[in-house]
Every structure is written in C-alpha cells, then in structure tokens.
Structure 1
Amino acid sequence: MLSGAGNSPGLDFLKIGVGARPAGMGEAFCAAADDASAIYWNPSGLGRLADKEITFMYNKWFEDMNYSFLAYAHPLENNSGTVAGAYYSLNTGSIRQYDNNDVLTGSFENTSRMFVLSYAREIKAGFTAGVSLKSIQDKIYDRTANAGACDIGLLYRAGNADFGLSIQNIGTGIRYITESFPLPGNVRFGVSLKDFRTAGLNLSADANLAQQEEKEFSLGAEYAAYKGFSLRAGYYSGENNAGSGARFGLGYVFGDTSIDYAFVPYDALGDTYRISLTWKFRKKPVAPAVVQQPEPVREEKPEAPKPQLEKLLKKVKPTPAQLEEAEKLYNDGKIEYSKGNLEAAKALWEKALSLAPDHDKAQQALKRVKEQLKEK
C-alpha cells in the first residue's frame, strides 16, 4: 500500500486513508461515507451531512513518520448541498544524508501537503454526487514539486443499502527536476448495508482498482454496542501490499463530540494506530408550526349535516412531497441512531412525524429512543 510502480515515493501519502473510523472498518468506506472524512473516501458522502462538522486525525506511522488530517464540512441552507475543505500533512522525520563516499553529511526531511476543496449535493431522490479539487505539494531535501488533481464520487441509496463509486487523483503528474511521475490513480467501488432492525449494525465492502497495482478489497463492520460506544472490525487485502490483514477500532459519542481509535498492524514494518476527534454543530430543532383547525360551526338546525361537518374537519392528509420528506428524515434518523447520536435521531424522527403523524416506523423509533434517553 505504500509503494507503487511508476509513482514517486513522496506521493504515496495520497493512498493513506484518513479517519480512525474508516480504518477500523478495514477501509471499506466508499459507500458508508457519512461524515467529514468522506472528503477522502467518496466526496458525494458530504452531501448527506445534516450538520456542520469538524474532524481531526492523527496517524502515528512507521519509524518517525507522522500523518495528520483536518477537515471542515458545511451544509448549505435550503438543501443546496455541502461545501468542505481539508488539509493533509505527512512528515517523514529526519532522513540521513550521505555523499558519494558514504560519509554522513547531514539530514533532511520529506514533507508532503495537500489542500482540498469539495462540493456535494443530492441531484435526484437517492442519488448524491460530489467533486473534490486538490492542490498537492511534495518537498524532498531542497526540491519542491506541485501537482493538481480532482476526485469524483457518486452514491445511490436503495432501501437499507448504499452503493458508492469514487474516482481518485485525476490530474497532472508531478515533476522533480527532470523526471516526472504520475499520480496514484484509483477507482473505488463500495456497498454498505445497514440492519435497522437492530438499529446499530453497518456492514460494508470495497473493491479498489489502483493504477499500476494489484486489485485490493476490504470488508468492514460497525456495531453501535451500548450508549454511544461503537465496536469496529475489518479486513484489508491487497497482494504484495503491506498492511493486509485484520483491523480493529472503537468509537465513543458524547454529546456533539466523538472520539475514534483504530489499530492497524503492518507486519514486519510494525503496528500503527489512528486517533480521530469530531465535533458537530447541530441545528437546534425548530418546533413544528401548529395548524389551528377551524372550530366547528354550531348549527342548531338542522341536526343532519353535523356528521358531514365532522368529516370535513378531520386532519388533512400529508401531501406526497411531505410523505417523501418524512421518509427521508426517518432514514436520516436511523443513520444517526446507528452512530449512537440518540438526541439527533430523536430530533429527526420528531420532525418526520410533524410532516406525517401516521408514520408507523417513525412513531416506533421515537418511542424506543425516548426510552433509551430516559435510561441515561
């Protein structure tokens, strides 16, 4: 995973996944992307965010290498999409420098950075699309090289299943003095299945078609175990690539903050770990407007029309648009519930019921989450 034919060693950081949550799921996150780390895995996942979100990851890599990631996602008003930005940084630490006679002359560092801007939105019921623009800089000793690239992503939801596609690092090559190298292109396919009967299980699988490398696949599972705690496990496989094998992770949500940890072994190279912190800035739920029903007109004479009048005064049925929006809010609530965000799930289900009061599933889900919140 850390080297590829025809690619500059300095550009391998473009293949290092971000976020402790995806890492703990074996990096099977193309279709499961539903937080700010989607800016790496599948930018279209940003279009499903309901709240502003900041996430930071620290990755203790091999030897003295350190990798960090910071991202901010901002959903726009009126369901007009989500904009996001991210900063990546990889520092290799001190590298010894020798002359032609193998005499130590000093040391230098290899530093790689990337800035990303993204936009995503729902383009049709169930379909979400996203794009990321990248500015890449790689510095080796006293030489600096630059490149530009973009990612394109798609997500489709059908019931409890999500299907994802992400094409990464489409762009220019990078040139060091007289030698040029292509960017490590990659195409990801993914599927994610959520078992909402238990309202806590998420299964996912990815396949990667990396340019000039063997095909890779990954499997992942996430289970919201108990009161904000999540357990994760995954398996990553890529022939002749370091890092193949099982991976594990934990997560805990408290209020609007979540902390995630992942353990990723790399065979002879050593074990690595990743820690992520995420803060959400939730919108305060707005109480639904109460529609005043007209008071029945009292008619002393005749008595016969009274039953007809009662029929007219019965609650007006929701429009098809309201039913569709209520179903979307119900599904969004299930996603929040599966991640342990009980208050957010409760707010979404209450909003769904304000549009469609007879939505049976939302009624049952709201009753269940209220009982769980009382237990806290």
Structure 2
Amino acid sequence: MKKILFIYFAIISLVLPQSQNESGYAFLKNGFTARNIAMGEFGAVGINDLSALHYNPSYLALNNKTQLAFSHHSLFNDYSSENFGFSFNLFNLPFAIGINTTKIDGIELRTKPGELIAKFNANYFYASLSSAYQIKNFYFGATIKYLYENIYIDDSNGYAFDFGFNYEKFYDNFSLGVVIKNIGNVNELKNIKTKLPLDFQIGINYNYKYDDFEFNPIIGYQNYLTDKISHLHFGTEIKYSQTVSLRLGYVSNYDSKNITTGLGVVFKKFNIDYAYVPIKYGLGDNHILTLIYNF
C-alpha cells in the first residue's frame, strides 16, 4: 500500500508499537492457507492439512500427512504475502517446515511535501519448524520461528514459539483446540523496542456427516494479549463427496472486515483452495490462493 511519508520516523511508526501495549510484526497475524481464512480466519481447531504449522501445531499429529503447500495472499493494494510449507515424518514423529515472505511495495519517502526522494519496500520473513505428539485422544505440538524484518536501511530479527493442544471428540463429534502463539523476543528496530503480537486462541469444532455431505462448523475466541484486543470467529465448511467444499465465515471487532468466503476442490493429489475477504474503505479486497500436493 503506497503511503506518502514526510519523514522516515513516520515509516517506523507504521510497523512499530504506538504505545506500550501495542505490538509490531503485524504480518504474523496473517493467515496461512485459503481454507482457514475462508472459515472466519481461524485455525486453533478443525485443521485438516499442514497449515497446522501456522495455526495449531498439535494437529500435525492428528493429520500426519506428507504434503507440500504454496499459498499466495494479495492483501490490500501493494501488500502481498507468500507461504510455503512441507510436512513429513521422521523418527516416528510428524514435522513441518514453514516459510513466509511478506512485502509492502512502493513506499514513498519524502522529507517535505512535494518532490519524491525515493521509493523502497518493507520486507518481512519467518522460517519455522513444528512437531507434535499424541497421547490417546490428546495432541500436543510446538513451533519455533525465526523472525526478520527490514524497513529502508534498518532491520530487526529474533525468535518466537507457538504451543498448541487439541482434544479430539471429547463429546460426540466435538473437538477442542487451544493455542498460544508468538512467545519470544526480537531486536530493536531503529532503537525502538518491538513487542510481538502474543496470540491466544481457543475454539470448538463439530464434525457431522450425512450421506456424501460433511459439515464442519467452528466457533473460536481469539485474544491478542499484547494489544488487549479480542475477536470472535465463526466459520463453516460444507463438503460434498470429499471433492468440493464451500466455506463461509465471520470475524468480529475489525473495523475494515467481517465476512470471509471461499471454496475448495480436490483434484487427484492436489487440494486447490481459494478465499475472498472483502475489505472496506477502498483498501483493496483480500484474495488468497492455496495449492497443496499430497504425496
């Protein structure tokens, strides 16, 4: 998204905390795959693929698949993000590797109104390693992430951990998922301390099958503990014959968005998923496309 900035410190203020309680590294709040984004942008529960590495690593033990994924996000006008994932088994344990690259293009630098001095990009990156373990109907998982950001001539890096838990079919076909994300620390950027967006989520998923149809409604609660902002998430997926899926969701307490939609198709060894999130105020709607290859 192009922003006319009069001094460089104004650029820093876009991505660093505005007060003691606000967090930076906001790209960590973005979703990973189109399926979860279409279902209310929630993933603490009800995950069925390697996107667990981003949302709740405990689901790697439940799904336990070898998959390769690529996801492209078009977020706002000049804001884009790519996610890569690979899940596999080693030493009788499930593992997953994740990579995210996020970029804001064409930020304009000015020292005063008038002539443009330069344009530059803001770049963000993380690489993650996740694993999980199962004890009966209980699943536990953890992720470690290396974080990096570069804005103009300054950069910052650090690490973070995610810890997830899920309890499958604790009552009938209900499942419970809990995750806390982004526990860690990063270096200062331009002598300004950055807090990570500490993220707590808890949700319930119900799985119901009728003939060739499968229904997966989700209700979730999310609290960004650093920012003291909470959201409610509602999502559902209607799947026919394990090949075609329609998805719809709603997320509360955002100024610019609330409805999420999407669809998915299974073709041979490929999962092809698309999500669309309308954005208010002319910022540019979100489009997410995900391809997953099943080995």
Name the TM-score, length of structure 2 as normaliser.
Answer: 0.88
Give deviations 1:345-366, integer Å, cap 9, x for gaps: xxxxxxxxxxxxxxxxxxxxxx
> In the TM superposition, what is the alpha-carbon distance from 1:215 to its structure 2 partner?
1.2
**Distance verdict in 2 for CA 1:278–1:175, change over 3 Å:** same
- Mapping 1:209-288, distance limit 5 Å: 209-211=223-225, 212-226=227-241, 228-238=243-253, 240-243=254-257, 245-268=258-281, 269-281=283-295
Q: Aligned to 1:39, what secondary structure does the other structure show?
A: helix
Residue by residue over 1:155-189, the C-alpha shift from the partner in whole angstroms, topping out at 9 and shown as x without a partner, is: 10124111000000001144113110100101000
Task: Please name the residue that 1:345 is paired with.
Answer: none
The runs of at least 4 consecutive aligned structure 1 residues that moved more than 3 Å come to: 2-9, 100-103
Identity of aligned residues (%): 27
Aligned counterparts of 1:193 and 1:277: Cα–Cα separation in 2 = 25
Note the residue ranges of structure 1 that are not aligned, 5 or more in a row.
Answer: 282-376
Higher strand share: 2
CA distance in 2: counterparts of 1:216 and 1:8, whole angstroms: 16
* 1:200-221 CA-partner distances (Å, limit 9, x unpaired): 1111111001122321011111
Root mean square deviation, CA, Å: 1.9
| Equivalence for 1:109 | 121
Compared CA separation, residues 54 and 103, structure 1 to 2 (3 A): same
| 1:176 maps to which of 181, 189, 204 | 189
User: What's 1:366 paired with?
Assistant: none
Contact 2:160 2:184 survives alignment (8 Å): yes
- Pairing of 1:280-319 with structure 2 (within 5 A): 280-281=294-295
* Corresponding letter in the other structure for 1:84: A
Note the alpha carbon deviations across 1:118-168, whole angstroms, 9 max, x for none: 11121x110000000010000000111001110000010124111000000
Whether the 8 Å contact between 1:36 and 1:53 is mirrored in structure 2 is yes
Larger RCO, structures 1/2 (Cα 8 Å, 6+ apart): 2
Distance across 2 between alignment mates of 1:70 and 1:23: 16
- Report the count of equivalent residues: 274
SS at structure 1 position matched to 2:129 = strand
CA distance in 2, matches of 1:28, 1:151: 15
CA contact (8 A) 1:5 1:213 kept: no
Q: Which residues in structure 2 correspond to 1:153-164 (within 5 Å)? A: 153-158=164-169, 159-164=172-177
Structure 2 residue corresponding to 1:193, chosen from 200, 206, 211:
206
Contact 2:50 2:67 in 1 (8 A): yes
Mark the structure with the bigger radius of gyration. Answer: 1
Which residue of 2 is the match for residue 370 of structure 1?
A: none
Identify if the C-alpha distance between structure 1 residues 151 and 25 changes in structure 2 by more than 3 Å, giving closer, same or farther: same
